[in-house]
Amino acid sequence: MTFIIEATKDDHHTVDIRSTAIVAVILARKLAADGYEVSIRSPTGRLYSADQFNHLLTSKSLNSEG
């Protein structure tokens, strides 16, 4: 599975790829704490904003993403 984390702050844009939801959420939360606007794209193409990251960590979501 591939989770794509996109983060933007001022003129800086970064894209990172992680293989599991939990690792993607950890990185995304760290970036958000550093002031970045962050989103995660799941393997199915669904886009999650920062207020939806917890949905990626539920067992139902993890099963449907894989």
DSSP for 7-20 reads EEETTEEEEEEESS
pLDDT the model gives residue 61: 57
pLDDT in tens, 2-38: 999 999 999 999 999 999 999 999 999 999 999 999 9
Instruction: Supply the pTM of this predicted model.
Output: 0.86
Q: Is the pLDDT of residue 66 over 50?
A: no
Neighbouring C-alpha atoms within 13 Å toward the C-beta of 48: 23
Q: Is the pLDDT of residue 59 over 70?
A: no
Domains contained in the chain, number: 1
| Parent domain of 39 | 3-65
